[in-house]
Chains A and B, each alone.
Chain A
């Protein structure tokens, strides 16, 4: 029982950490995405090079 509880605790913790980093990643991505028009040409130049 104790083992099961500990396992459940770990799963919830892992889910929570995933949630936080997913949110933060989403935020950061949306921030970068604002500058799409500047980034995409830059990426193209890099790819060609």
Chain B
């Protein structure tokens, strides 16, 4: 409950800050998609404030509450007169009318959102969230400042979302952080809804939103502590702002688009994809307009358009990039190392980097050649080739309706622009990105617009087409709700209070019984965790592990090369009392389907080394405290 109240406070404060800023720049007139852009800007401000607090070394709970409280004071200024009246007399009836008119679709959307909301209230369990984003936020809060330690190279990524999560976790707990991720999705939903409504009416808007929610990755990620839906949301808003610019020719939209891209670049390096494509889009539109007639109103040139876009896009995330340039001679550390050593800068690398770089190059990718590019739609959707989409084998049914656009006579310009954007995005991702589904949430989400457009046209067409379209939509609904229940059922029930957090964690986190044992029976234990990230997060300060405390322990090789005696000595010297080994995770290391034979061999070697390590650890232990489901907790002898 407290989480929900804090979340509402945070969302409304973000909205107030963003709205005041927007009004300052764009005047008091109704701006399309104002709410979503306001929340986006507000969240950005919160992230930058957290960064500033971290740099000053005052990341304390009371400071965060002070920040939240003072931004809540802005709300009355934002809605000045009749704000109670606005809320109760205007918004509510509108909502009710909307639900009554588009009944079933909005009811479905509401059902999906409620499941997401509830599952965001369950403890985090996603391995990546626990080993990177939330763990980093936890470290920042423990130290009360931004840390510049170089022990974990993954902590050097741009950290816009981590700052937001730090804010949320600092206020109360990790559930607030998960709710923030959900909020970013909702803001993209609202942005898409307004845009679709302006272009094609209410039905288009509601079906677009429904399709957006059907994307299995969105479905899964929105209520976790990952960052990809946040990234996609900012990229979507950036494109929508550009489309508004094309329509209204008001240059402020370019600036807004740049701001959104800036936030996206602050979330992940792959924000660069959107940055590059948006620049080409601006160049294209700029040149086309100049051919048709002189530049509108101000006589702006393409140069000024580009400046308006690039300036905020580069300034907002600059801290993270400049920091990496200064510390490692590479703004994109640890990526693009070849480029920066080619330029004469020699980037510094932390331990463990080599293995990670190898993983990056070989992880589940399909061969990057023209033939595979041409059949990319096939590869993305067809089961035999499917790129791991974080979904098991759940297809994106509704995309099959996309070719229905071939039957439509006059396809509007904005759909063509979206197609061009998605095409360019997919091509860049195919050649330079990591072949994992979460990297293409943006194009898939944007494609829900043309697909909804096509679906509506088909429904209004002749009978066979109508039946086809409706059956695909119904099947999508059934499959999506099924997946949602399967993937999120447990966490949603936990969020609703049907299961306790403890029961949920016992079921989903393999090493949780060991963690629980330590927390309950040996509160002063110093544990070293091997081969398990989830345990690290839940053990808090009581562990010594891959990362922040001790640089040497980060490297697997460091421990692997040691003899059992030397290892025992080293462990004792560091004051370690327990060892936690997750042998299960080593045994089940994911060997992707389509890596090269060499990579597969290397994976097998790594698994063997890890199991050898587990065996060695078992030998140096003086006593087995706990051994359950492939997770063991040992005591180190005195």
CA distance A34 to B468 in the complex (A): 26
Q: Which of A19-34 contact B (CB under 8 A)?
A: 19-21, 23-24, 26-27, 30-31, 34
State whether the Cβ of A12 lies closer than 8 Å to any Cβ in chain B: yes
Q: In the complex the two chains form, is B407's CB within 8 Å of A30's CB?
A: no
Which A residues are in CB contact (< 8 Å) with B404? Answer: 16
Q: In the complex the two chains form, is A27's CB within 8 Å of B395's CB?
A: yes
Most central of A19, A20, A30 by chain B CB within 10 Å:
A20
Q: Which of B353-405 contact A (CB under 8 A)?
A: 381-384, 393, 395, 397, 400-401, 403-404
Known: A17-B465, A20-B401, A21-B468. Contact between A34 and B393, CB under 8 A?
yes
- Dominant SS among interface residues on chain B: helix
CA distance A27 to B404 in the complex (A): 19
CA distance A9 to B409 in the complex (A): 11
Known: A13-B462, A17-B468. Contact between A27 and B406, CB under 8 A?
no
CA distance A17 to B468 in the complex (A): 6
Which B residues are in CB contact (< 8 Å) with A24? Answer: 397, 400, 471-472, 475
State whether the Cβ of B464 lies closer than 8 Å to any Cβ in chain A: yes
The size bracket of the interface on A is: 10 to 19
In the assembled complex, how far is the CB of residue A25 from the closest CB belonging to chain B, in whole angstroms? 11
In the assembled complex, how far is the CB of residue B395 from the closest CB belonging to chain A, in whole angstroms? 4
CA distance A21 to B403 in the complex (A): 13
Q: Number of B residues whose C-beta is below 8 Å from A?
A: 20
Q: In the complex the two chains form, is A23's CB within 8 Å of B381's CB?
A: yes
Within the complex, which residue of B383, B465, B468, B471 is in contact with A27, where a contact is CB–CB below 8 Å?
Answer: B383
CA distance A23 to B384 in the complex (A): 12
Most central of A9, A16, A19, A26 by chain B CB within 10 Å:
A16
Q: In the complex the two chains form, is B383's CB within 8 Å of A13's CB?
A: no
Q: In the complex the two chains form, is A16's CB within 8 Å of B475's CB?
A: no
Which A residues are in CB contact (< 8 Å) with B468? Answer: 16-17, 20-21
Within the complex, which residue of A12, A19, A30, A31 is in contact with B400, where a contact is CB–CB below 8 Å?
Answer: A19
Q: In the complex the two chains form, is B407's CB within 8 Å of A27's CB?
A: no
CA distance A26 to B378 in the complex (A): 12
Which A residues are in CB contact (< 8 Å) with B393? Answer: 30-31, 34
Within the complex, which residue of A12, A19, A27 is in contact with B397, where a contact is CB–CB below 8 Å?
Answer: A27
Q: In the complex the two chains form, is B403's CB within 8 Å of A13's CB?
A: no
CA distance A37 to B470 in the complex (A): 33
Which A residues are in CB contact (< 8 Å) with B397? Answer: 24, 27
Which A residues are in CB contact (< 8 Å) with B401? Answer: 20
Which B residues are in CB contact (< 8 Å) with A13? Answer: 407, 462, 464-465
In the assembled complex, how far is the CB of residue A10 from the closest CB belonging to chain B, in whole angstroms? 9
Known: A24-B400, A27-B383, A27-B395. Contact between A16 and B472, CB under 8 A?
no
In the assembled complex, how far is the CB of residue B497 from the closest CB belonging to chain A, in whole angstroms? 33
- One digit per residue, 1 when the CB lies within 8 angstroms of any chain A CB and 0 when it does not, for chain B 439-476 equals 00000000000000000000000101100100110010
Known: A16-B406, A30-B383. Contact between A23 and B462, CB under 8 A?
no
In the assembled complex, how far is the CB of residue A48 from the closest CB belonging to chain B, in whole angstroms? 30
CA distance A27 to B462 in the complex (A): 25
CA distance A16 to B408 in the complex (A): 12
CA distance A15 to B403 in the complex (A): 11
Within the complex, which residue of A12, A17, A31, A34 is in contact with B406, where a contact is CB–CB below 8 Å?
Answer: A12
In the assembled complex, how far is the CB of residue B479 from the closest CB belonging to chain A, in whole angstroms? 8
In the assembled complex, how far is the CB of residue B7 from the closest CB belonging to chain A, in whole angstroms? 36
Q: In the complex the two chains form, is B407's CB within 8 Å of A26's CB?
A: no
Most central of A17, A19, A27, A34 by chain B CB within 10 Å:
A27
Which B residues are in CB contact (< 8 Å) with A9? Answer: 407
Residue of B nearest to A21 (CB): B468
Nearest 7 CB-CB pairs, A to B? Answer: A30-B383, A27-B395, A23-B400, A17-B468, A20-B400, A20-B468, A17-B464
Give me 15 A-to-B residue pairs in the complex whose CB atoms sit less than 8 angstroms apart, sorted by A's number. A12-B407, A13-B407, A13-B465, A16-B403, A16-B407, A16-B468, A19-B400, A21-B468, A27-B383, A27-B397, A30-B383, A30-B384, A30-B393, A31-B393, A34-B393
Given contacts A20-B468, A30-B383, A31-B395, list 10 more A-B pairs with CB under 8 A: A9-B407, A12-B406, A16-B403, A16-B407, A19-B400, A23-B381, A24-B400, A26-B382, A26-B383, A27-B383
